Chain A
Amino acid sequence: MTVIVIIVLVVIAVVVLALVAIYNSLVKRRNQVDNSWSQIDVQLRRRHDLIPNLVEAVKDYMEFEQETLTRVTEARNMAVAAGQRGPEAQAQAENMLSDALKSLFAVAENYPDLKANQNVMSLQEELTATENKISFARQFYNDSVLTYNNKIQTVPSNLVAGLFNFTARQYFEAPEAAREVPKVDLR
């Protein structure tokens, strides 16, 4: 009789331990998703900070590109403002800023003087790096979401997930407009 009691207790203990392990793992994954989302934010802010310096530095060399420069500055200001309006508005504004920057870099190829300017070159390196970091931060965010969603949806962790209200997260997807190739006007 006591043997059965012991066996039952052991089984219960094992199940409880397994549930705890799954719960902890879900919490860690969810935290990673949140953390990687805020990482994207960090890089976006950095880009906002770098752009005024870049515009200032190239202004004198690119007098004929006022339109492109203005577009970049405006896009940057809109992106900063969009930060308050929620992730969707933010994503859209940031993508428009990326487009504006791409046009600026493409047009800058026409100005060989710019390449000689150390200041400009180092700013361009920083901006390229920041663009890359934004990309990779988004990539890591999406990877984290994938792992988390997998955990929530596969058996047996989906049972624990349902019990404790772990909900699936959204991927960071580029909106349709960003998928168009940016038009570069080379005059």
Chain B
Amino acid sequence: MYEQIARNRRASWLLMGVIVALFAVIGYVFGLAWTGEQAGGLGLLGVFGVVAIVWSLIGYYTGDKMVLAVSGARLVTHADEPRLYNVVEEMTIAAGLAQPPAVYVIEDEALNAFATGRDPARSAVAVTRGLLEHLDREQLQGVVAHEISHIRNYDIRFATLVGILVGIIALVADFFLRSTFFGMGRRRGGDSSGGGLMIVVALLLAILAPLAAAAVQFAISRRREYLADASGVELTRNPLGLARALHEIAGDTGRLESANRATAHLYIANPLRRQHTGALFATHPPVDERIAVLLKMAHVGPEALGAPPGVTGAPGTGTV
């Protein structure tokens, strides 16, 4: 686990570095395409670079608050939600964290949960109303243990950064994609053939950048989910609890209103129900496999999961 923590911290810094570099390159290319001159390219490289650095720092220091705000999460106290608060405290003790994460509730009927924050000292766990109403204590414990494992592993730092920074890449690329179509600034001299090539490259970057970022995001999330499942079980010593919880969550076909492509990877189960099943573009590993792994840990068969969850939806409608 300590290797995972070290890896996550390195990956976080690396991600910020890559984003700044990527932005600088995009800026340079766009500048060159737009003005047809080296100076224009360098100028825009500088501007984009600074913007990227500032944005990375903002993402690092306040990313969790942004994610929580965007997800419509509401801070709750012990008095508001005693059972949830107690379960979070129990898992905090099991994990040996110095203080529990802040507890939030999302008023949505969908069953889901996520964790966000910078490190164990500043972290938060959010759970939907649907989850609170449908899961029993054992299942809730499994879900919270999974989220707290993300916190302990420093996954949340990386995942939050990815969410904030990926979002901005998509946004910026979008913007410049539009500007290429609606005509560019005057080209001051320079040979037209070179300019034409730069436009093509610029377009390519605008399309590829968000795709590349998305691929990275997805590749990272899947292994971490398995690890968080296993670490969560290490906390509760009860793989069946989480298995049954995932079974319930998978049976829920409702879409979580406040989730979007930038934050989907933070949740315990994919909140955007219609998904490409292609291995490269899935944010979460298939829930059946996650359940199978957990059942194997518990040395029981699928009958231990109990009755199928009472929400309509044929099994296998897209990956969760």
Closest to B95 in A: A140
User: Judging by beta carbons under 8 Å apart, are B82 and A144 in contact?
Assistant: no
Q: A36-B96, A144-B96 are in contact. Are A133 and B90 (CB under 8 A)?
A: yes
Q: A129-B89, A129-B90 are in contact. Are A140 and B82 (CB under 8 A)?
A: no
Give Cα A32–Cα B95 distance, bound, in whole angstroms: 12
A138 nearest CB across to chain B (Å): 10
User: Judging by beta carbons under 8 Å apart, are A137 and B93 in contact?
Assistant: yes
Q: A133-B89, A139-B237 are in contact. Are A125 and B83 (CB under 8 A)?
A: yes
Q: Can you give 19 A-B contacts (C-beta < 8 A)?
A: A36-B96, A122-B82, A125-B82, A125-B86, A128-B86, A129-B83, A129-B86, A129-B90, A132-B86, A133-B93, A136-B91, A136-B94, A136-B235, A139-B237, A140-B94, A140-B95, A140-B96, A143-B96, A144-B96
Chain A 118-138 near chain B by CB (<8 Å), digits 1 or 0: 000010011011001100110
Give Cα A9–Cα B83 distance, bound, in whole angstroms: 60
Interfacial chain B residues near A139, Cβ < 8 Å: 94, 237
Interfacial chain A residues near B86, Cβ < 8 Å: 125-126, 128-129, 132
Going nearest first, the 6 A-B pairs with the smallest beta carbon separation are A129-B86, A136-B94, A136-B93, A132-B90, A140-B96, A137-B93
Interfacial chain B residues near A128, Cβ < 8 Å: 86, 137
Interfacial chain B residues near A122, Cβ < 8 Å: 82
A interface majority secondary structure = helix
* Contact count band on B: 10 to 19
Chain B 64-108 near chain A by CB (<8 Å), digits 1 or 0: 000000000000000000110011011101111000000000000
Interfacial chain A residues near B237, Cβ < 8 Å: 139
Interfacial chain A residues near B83, Cβ < 8 Å: 125, 129
Chain A 128-165 near chain B by CB (<8 Å), digits 1 or 0: 11001100110110011000000000000000000000
B83 nearest CB across to chain A (Å): 6
Interfacial chain A residues near B82, Cβ < 8 Å: 122, 125-126, 129
A92 within 8 A of B: no
Given A32, A125, A126, A129, which contacts B96 in the complex, CB threshold below 8 Å?
A: A32
**Chain B positions 268-304 with a Cβ under 8 Å from a chain A Cβ:** none
Give Cα A129–Cα B94 distance, bound, in whole angstroms: 13
B196 nearest CB across to chain A (Å): 59
Interfacial chain A residues near B96, Cβ < 8 Å: 32, 36, 140, 143-144
A98 within 8 A of B: no
A39 within 8 A of B: yes
Give Cα A140–Cα B148 distance, bound, in whole angstroms: 15
Interfacial chain A residues near B95, Cβ < 8 Å: 140
A85 nearest CB across to chain B (Å): 25
Interfacial chain A residues near B89, Cβ < 8 Å: 129, 133
Give Cα A79–Cα B82 distance, bound, in whole angstroms: 26
B75 nearest CB across to chain A (Å): 20
Chain A 91-134 near chain B by CB (<8 Å), digits 1 or 0: 00000000000000000000000000000001001101100110
Give Cα A132–Cα B83 distance, bound, in whole angstroms: 12
A140 nearest CB across to chain B (Å): 5
Interfacial chain A residues near B91, Cβ < 8 Å: 136
A166 nearest CB across to chain B (Å): 20
**Chain A positions 23-42 with a Cβ under 8 Å from a chain B Cβ:** 32, 36, 39
